[in-house]
Chain A
Amino acid sequence: MTTPVNTPATTPAYGVGIGWRPEIAGVVAGLPGLRFAEVVAESVHPHAPLPDALAALVDRGVAVVPHGVRLNLGGAEPVEAARVTAFAAVAERLRAPLASEHIAFVRAGGVEAGHLLPLPRTREAVAAVAANVRRVQDELAVPLALEPIAALFDWPDDELTEAEFVTAILDATGARLLLDVANVYANARNRGADPLAVLAALPLDRVAYVHVAGGAEHDGVYHDTHTDAVPAEVLALVTELCARHRPPALMLERDGHYPPEADLRAELDAIAAAAGYPAVT
Chain B
Amino acid sequence: MTGPLADRQAALVAALTAGAPVPPGFDARLVEVARTALLRKRAGEVARQWPLLAAAHGPRWPATFAAWAAARPTNGSVRDGWDLARAQAASGVLPRLAAEELAAREATFRYDGTGAVRRRRAPALARAAGAVAVQVGGRVRLLRRPA
Once A111-B17, A114-B17 are accepted as A-B contacts, the answer to whether A105 and B9 lie under 8 Å apart by CB is yes
A109 to B17, CA, bound (A): 12
- Answer yes or no: B31 CB below 8 A from chain A CBs: yes
Min CB distance, A52 to chain B, in Å? 19
**Out of B6, B18, B36, B38, which one reaches A219, CB within 8 Å?**
B36
A109 to B73, CA, bound (A): 12
Classify the secondary structure of B's interface with A: helix
A155 to B37, CA, bound (A): 18
Q: CB-CB < 8 A to B12: which residues of A?
A: 108, 117
Once A75-B9, A111-B73, A112-B73 are accepted as A-B contacts, the answer to whether A152 and B34 lie under 8 Å apart by CB is yes
- Answer yes or no: B16 CB below 8 A from chain A CBs: yes
- Answer yes or no: A156 CB below 8 A from chain B CBs: yes
- Size of chain A's interface in residues, with CB distance under 8 A? 29
- Answer yes or no: A138 CB below 8 A from chain B CBs: no
Min CB distance, A187 to chain B, in Å? 12
**Out of A113, A219, A221, which one reaches B13, CB within 8 Å?**
A113
Min CB distance, A30 to chain B, in Å? 22
Q: CB-CB < 8 A to B7: which residues of A?
A: 109
Is the pair A109, B44 in contact by a Cβ cutoff of 8 Å? no
Closest to B9 in A: A108
Chain B interface bracket (under 10, 10 to 19, 20 to 34, 35 or more): 20 to 34
Closest to B48 in A: A256
Q: CB-CB < 8 A to B33: which residues of A?
A: 152-153, 218-219, 221
A156 to B1, CA, bound (A): 8
Is the pair A156, B41 in contact by a Cβ cutoff of 8 Å? no
A105 to B7, CA, bound (A): 13
- Answer yes or no: A189 CB below 8 A from chain B CBs: no
- Answer yes or no: B122 CB below 8 A from chain A CBs: no
Min CB distance, B112 to chain A, in Å? 19
Q: CB-CB < 8 A to A120: which residues of B?
A: 5, 8
- Answer yes or no: B4 CB below 8 A from chain A CBs: yes
Is the pair B30, A221 in contact by a Cβ cutoff of 8 Å? yes
A113 to B10, CA, bound (A): 9
Is the pair A107, B25 in contact by a Cβ cutoff of 8 Å? no
Q: CB-CB < 8 A to A155: which residues of B?
A: 25-26
**Residues of A near any B CB (own CB < 8 A):** 75-77, 105, 107-109, 111-115, 117, 120, 124-125, 128, 152-157, 218-219, 221, 223, 227, 256
User: What are 5 contact pairs spanning A and B, CB under 8 A?
Assistant: A75-B9, A108-B10, A120-B8, A153-B26, A156-B1
New A-B pairs, 5, CB < 8 Å, besides A111-B14, A111-B18, A114-B38 = A77-B6, A108-B12, A153-B27, A221-B30, A227-B44
**Residues of B near any A CB (own CB < 8 A):** 1, 4-10, 12-14, 16-18, 24-27, 30-31, 33-34, 36-38, 40-42, 44, 48, 73-76
